[in-house]
Amino acid sequence: MKPEKRKIFIGGNWKMNLLTSQVSGYAETLTKQITEDGRFDICVCPPYVSLERAVSCFKNTCVSVAAQNVNENSSGAFTGEVSCSQLSDIGVERVMIGHSERRIYYAEANETVNRKMEAAIKAGLSPILCVGETEAVRAAGNAERFVKEQLVSAFDGVPCDAFEKTVIAYEPVWAIGTGKAADAEICGHMCAFIREVLRTLYGECAEHMSIAYGGSVNEENIAGLISLTDIDGALVGGASLSADSFGKIIASVSAIL
Give me the residues that bind ligand PGA (CB under 6 A), please.
13, 171, 176-177, 214-217, 235-239
Minimum separation from the CB atom of position 234 to ligand PGA (A): 8
Counting DSSP H helices and E strands in the chain, the numbers are 11, 8
Active site residue 171: yes
Q: For residues 145 and 104, is the Cβ–Cβ distance under 8 A?
A: no
Choose between 171 and 230: whose C-beta lies nearer to ligand PGA. Answer: 171
Burial of residue 72 (CB within 10 Å: 0-12, 13-18, 19+) is buried
Indicate the helix (H) or strand (E) that contains 245: helix 243-256
Q: How far is CA 146 from CA 29, 77, 133, in A?
A: 39, 33, 6
Choose between 10 and 209: whose C-beta lies nearer to ligand PGA. Answer: 10
Who's near 223: CB < 8 A, 6+ residues apart? Answer: 252, 253, 255, 256
Catalytic residue among 72, 101, 118, 171: 171
Helix (H, G, I), strand (E, B), or coil: what is residue 25?
Answer: helix
Helix (H, G, I), strand (E, B), or coil: what is residue 216?
Answer: coil
Choose between 174 and 202: whose C-beta lies nearer to ligand PGA. Answer: 174
Helix (H, G, I), strand (E, B), or coil: what is residue 95?
Answer: strand
Minimum separation from the CB atom of position 55 to ligand PGA (A): 21
Choose between 46 and 238: whose C-beta lies nearer to ligand PGA. Answer: 238
Minimum separation from the CB atom of position 251 to ligand PGA (A): 17
Choose between 158 and 212: whose C-beta lies nearer to ligand PGA. Answer: 212
Instruction: Give the residue closest to ligand PGA by C-beta.
Output: 237
Active site residue 144: no
Catalytic residue among 99, 101, 108, 118: 99
Best CA proximity match to 226, nearest among 5, 6, 34: 6
Minimum separation from the CB atom of position 235 to ligand PGA (A): 5
Minimum separation from the CB atom of position 177 to ligand PGA (A): 4
Residue 168 bridge partners (DSSP): 129, 211
Best CA proximity match to 244, nearest among 18, 44, 26: 26
- Residues carrying an active site annotation: 99, 171
